[in-house]
Every structure is written in structure tokens, then in C-alpha cells.
Amino acid sequence: MIIMKGIALLSMLMALLAIASAHSLYAEFAEKPTLQSDMKVWIAYGHGGEADSELLDLPVARLISPEGKIADLVLEPYKSGLLGRISPGEKGCYILDLQAESTLFDPMWYGSSGNRNLVEKYARALIPVQSGRGFDWSDGKGLEIVPETDPYGLKSGDEFKAKAFWNKKPIAGSYSAIVTRIPEDILVVQHAEKTEMEGSSPDGSLNLRLTRPGLWVLSFEATIDEKGVWKANADDLQGHYKAGDDLEYDQIAPTGFLTFWVEK
């Protein structure tokens, strides 16, 4: 009975981790934006084409212009996600720079052993407007997936290169990629049926063959052996901690997401 209980707890823990890793913080936007357009951008936390978990706010939500100018995004709730608008005024790659609220994960809460992790989620979206100028912008903070390939005019079959950094330094980790939309169905919910590719990188280098057109979301997960104390910003939904609590952690577990369009 004890063995069966341990197996059940382990299975539950693995299921929780699998659900968390299947979700992406990503953005949806027009495939070919134009200058001076009033373009809608929908930001969601989900698994391919919809918001599986309600996204109420983001501590970081800003737009980076091709010249590197930074402006905060005004967002409003929409379909369990957040809706914003941008009006590109110059040719080049606009970048949505996003970060979700940090959370804490402790396996002991589910009857298992392991490190207590500070979970952080970073996301960026590449929006090239008639040019890819400025696509490799970086501020050297947190987990970044910095493109090495110009995203303007990317087509199915092309090679896409990028590199993952943690506070300016290359970092090892695992990656995966999904396609959340296909060009014909931009207004239709489409569940991602499969992972297009996945693997690991010893130094953060990513080299992808873009297998089909659509809105791609590339994710990169890492683990940093760094202890610290985190002050909770909000109550945990499962009641494990409350806003204002100071909580120790053993590791930082960041995930970065990069959204971009691939043409036919």
C-alpha cells in the first residue's frame, strides 16, 4: 500500500509538471502588419490557440521599437487573456517584451521530495513591419531567447537560429517548438496537436528547421542553482502561501518563449 501511494503521488507530481510545461506565454497578431495600422495583439497563457489559464495581469508588458525605444503597453482583459494595440510608425522589427508573475513550486506540497523552485516566465514576440531591423534587441535581463536570424520574410523550410541567455550569459537548457496557428485560420481556435521539435542545448544555441507555416512559439527551459528568498506578490491559488510571505527557494527555474510568424 505504501508503494502504491508513493507511485500515485509521483504520478500526480509528474502530471502537474507536464501540464505546466505544456503551457506557453505567447502573443497572437497579424501575419503581415503594415505601417500606421491599428493592430491588435492578444496575449495568452495556454497551449496552442487559446488561453487555458486566465491571465489577469503582467508585471512587464512593453513594446520595443526598431530603434530600441521602450513604451509600456496598455492592456485590457479579453477572452481570458490580455488585449493591446500597437500602431507601427517605422519599418523594422517591433518586439513585445513580457514577463509573468513569479511563482513558487515545492514538491513537498504534493508528498514528494526535491528542490523548491522559483518559477519565472519570460516571453517575447517578433513583429517585423516591412523589415527585420532591430530583431536582435536585448536588455541582458532574465532569460532571453535572442534571434540570430532576421524574422522578416521567414518561410517554411528556412533555418532559424537563436541563442538563450540568462542575465547576459549563455545557458544550457531544453527547448521545444509548437505551431499555434496556421495562416488560413488566424480567426479560428486551433489546438496545437504536436510538438514540432524538441531537444537540449549545452550552451543555449538553437538551430531550427521551420517545418511548416504558421505562428510559432519556441520555448526554452533552464535551471539555475541559486538559493534565495522570494516575497510572494499574490496568494497561491492552492493556499500554499500568501501575498507578502518571504519564501526560501533552492533553484530558479525560468522558461522563455519566443513567438514569430513563418510564411508559406
Intervals of the chain under pLDDT 70: 1-22, 47-52, 184-193
DSSP for the chain reads -HHHHHHHHHHHHHHHHHHHHH-EEEEE--SS--TT--EEEEEEEESSSS-SB-----SEEEEE-TT--EEEPP-EEETTEEEEEE---SSEEEEEEEEPPPEEE-GGGGT-----EEEEEEEEEEEEES--TTTT-----SEEEEESS--TT-BTT-EEEEEEEETTEE--EEEEEEEEE-GGGTTS-----S-SEEEEESSSEEEEE--SSEEEEEEEE--B---EEEE-SS--TTSS--TT-EEEESEEEEEEEEEEEEB-
Give residue 53's pLDDT.
Answer: 73
Give residue 70's pLDDT.
Answer: 97
Give residue 51's pLDDT.
Answer: 58
Give residue 46's pLDDT.
Answer: 81
pTM exceeding the 0.85 threshold for the entire prediction: yes
Give residue 12's pLDDT.
Answer: 39
Give residue 56's pLDDT.
Answer: 87
Give residue 106's pLDDT.
Answer: 96
Q: Where do the domains of the chain lie?
A: 2-262
